[in-house]
Amino acid sequence: MSDKKRKIGFIRVFEMVLFTFLIFGVLLPNFFRYSDFNEWDSAKNLIVSHDLLFALEKNKIFDDALITDPQTDGYNISYAHAMDEEKIKNISEKVLPVIYDFEYEVKNVPASRISIGCVCSDSQVQWLKEKILTPSYPTYEFAISIVPLDNLSARWDTFIIFGQKNLEPYRNNITEMLRNGKGFVLIGNITTPPDNMTKELFGIDYSGGSSSDVNFQFKNFSDPTTSGLSKRYIGNLIRINTLDVNLTGKLYLRNSDYLVMQDPANHCINISSCSSCLHENETCSITNVANITLYMIDPLYNKWVDVKISSALENKRNYRFLDRAPLTVKSTKSTILSDGSNSMANAVMGDYSLAYETEPRRFWIYNYNSSRDDLNLILKTGIIWSSGEHYFIFNKLVPDKRDVATHFCTGLRDNNIPFTVKLYTWGY
């Protein structure tokens, strides 16, 4: 080999060494410093964490761990839920270095158990338990207790208030809860101009007016809040009690009721206006009213059936409601249910916390006809939504010094509701 070629080869090797030095000695350390990584181990662990999150979504492990229901996990859902979480724990321990501990934070998926503080009476709590707070999956358990407005506690995920009250004297208590990411639900007619705190919390613009029968529906599907709530609405469940000797109950939609009768021999239900007996996951359509899908029949005692409803129109989320509603609140950017100019329900996010993980949610709905199952379902949806849909899977204490990998998922079991999972890791 000639001296000229040797020199050229040496120069190229020197250039490669210099280039490598620039990357590993100058550029990458600066990158990691500005990204809050001071150790190579953290950088490597971050890569492993991102790969793990991607694999868990790709293999639908999140679908099992974050959604627990009798159809996929059997009737002992508490045990099944624990086993699904154990699966994530075992996979994580095998993939992550043995010297690391870990925790998963989930945002935009409701927890399996939601705790509620209710500013209400015993009879109102009983009504909520019987008509509203029935399993919907992933939330299959609600814990509700009566609490006073002047002694709210961060132990609850969300708070329910019945009736128009003056909330201004409780501003400090309420604001403290909001900063902790807690939600609020107000159920009541706005018949007089509300106090500033009520107006602020629930985006209420009082206008005055009188009651009338109105048709109303979800407003503005392009709005992320309305879109998300409408998707949740058609995925949540209505429980119909069939406790009489004929295993019969009623489903009340719009201004009509429909007889629901179980057929235990064929494990299906007959619904008036439906042409055939519905088996689980089968749907019938009631013209200009709704599509009704049988989700599940009580597998133990035949005391209830769970159904889903959606619009009979082309867009399944475009459900039409009907009720005698007080026209006293103007439709605004916070409105999710409207007849066009008036609001029947508002949903508000943010304002009291700068952190996405603790962004408080507030939901208001007028004092509707509580016998109507389609309206009970929107309240149920609002309560679940207001809980923040934010929790830690293992409830570990995450230290301040830790690494964080974030993964954005497109939805659970094809519900198309995006959610975020953060994987925290830290060394011993």
- Summarised one tens digit per residue, pLDDT across range 171-208 is 999 999 999 999 999 999 999 999 999 999 999 999 98
Instruction: List C-alpha distances in Å: 218 to 61, 165, 317.
Output: 33, 26, 8
Confidence of residue 354 (pLDDT cuts 50, 70, 90): confident
- Summarised one tens digit per residue, pLDDT across range 377-393 is 999 999 999 999 999 99
Select the more confidently predicted residue: 357 or 337. 337
pLDDT at 17: 40
CA 57 to chain centre: 18
CA trace torsion 227, 230, 231, 233 (10° rounding):
160
* Distance, CA of 104 to CA of 406 (rounded, Å): 10
* Distance, CA of 202 to CA of 174 (rounded, Å): 13
Element of type H or E holding 349? strand 343-349
**CA Rg, the chain, in Å?**
26
pLDDT at 14: 38
pLDDT at 39: 65
Confidence of residue 38 (pLDDT cuts 50, 70, 90): low
Query: What pairs with residue 186 in β-bridges?
Result: 161, 364
Mean pLDDT of the chain: 89
Confidence of residue 5 (pLDDT cuts 50, 70, 90): very low
Confidence of residue 373 (pLDDT cuts 50, 70, 90): very high
**How big is the CA angle at 283 (ends 278 and 285), to the nearest 5 degrees?**
110
* Distance, CA of 282 to CA of 298 (rounded, Å): 16
pLDDT at 84: 87
pLDDT at 237: 97
- Summarised one tens digit per residue, pLDDT across range 103-129 is 999 999 999 999 999 999 999 999 999
Q: Is the pLDDT of residue 45 over 90?
A: no
Rounded mean pLDDT of 146-174? 96
Instruction: List C-alpha distances in Å: 190 to 22, 132, 162, 367.
Output: 66, 22, 12, 9
pLDDT at 356: 75
* Distance, CA of 347 to CA of 360 (rounded, Å): 11
Name which of 73-77, 203-207, 304-308 the model is least confident about.
73-77
Confidence of residue 270 (pLDDT cuts 50, 70, 90): very high
pLDDT at 7: 45
pLDDT at 18: 42
Closest CA to 288 of 324, 255, 260, 261: 255
pLDDT at 361: 97
pLDDT at 425: 95
Query: What pairs with residue 283 in β-bridges?
Result: 293
Q: Is the pLDDT of residue 234 over 90?
A: yes
pLDDT at 95: 94
Rounded mean pLDDT of 297-316? 93
% of the chain residues with pLDDT over 90: 74
> Could you tell me if 381 and 236 are in contact, meaning their C-beta atoms sit under 8 angstroms apart?
yes
DSSP 195: P
pLDDT at 50: 94
Q: Is the pLDDT of residue 35 over 90?
A: no
Rounded mean pLDDT of 313-337? 95
For residue 427, the one-letter residue type is G
Sheet order of strands, 211-218 included: 141-146, 113-119, 158-162, 183-187, 361-365, 343-349, 335-338, 211-218, 320-326
Confidence of residue 2 (pLDDT cuts 50, 70, 90): low
> Could you tell me if 216 and 344 are in contact, meaning their C-beta atoms sit under 8 angstroms apart?
yes
> Could you tell me if 217 and 313 are in contact, meaning their C-beta atoms sit under 8 angstroms apart?
no
Sheet order of strands, 256-263 included: 248-253, 256-263, 268-271
- Summarised one tens digit per residue, pLDDT across range 17-30 is 444 444 444 444 55
Secondary structure string (H, E, C) spanning 276-323: CCECCCCEEEECCCEEEEEEEECCCCCCEEEEEEECCCCCCCCCEEEE
pLDDT at 403: 93
Confidence of residue 416 (pLDDT cuts 50, 70, 90): confident
% of the chain residues with pLDDT over 70: 91
Count other C-beta atoms under 10 Å from residue 257's C-beta. 15
Helix residue ranges, H only, 132-220: 171-179, 196-202
**How big is the CA angle at 132 (ends 254 and 151), to the nearest 5 degrees?**
130
* Distance, CA of 242 to CA of 248 (rounded, Å): 5
Select the more confidently predicted residue: 295 or 6. 295
Six token digits for residue 163 = 């009736």
For residue 193, the one-letter residue type is P
Six token digits for residue 23 = 């990357």
Count other C-beta atoms under 10 Å from residue 101's C-beta. 18
Backbone angles phi, psi at 33, to 5 degrees: -65, -45
Decide: helix, strand or coil at residue 224: helix
Rounded mean pLDDT of 332-360? 91
Q: Is the pLDDT of residue 33 over 70?
A: no
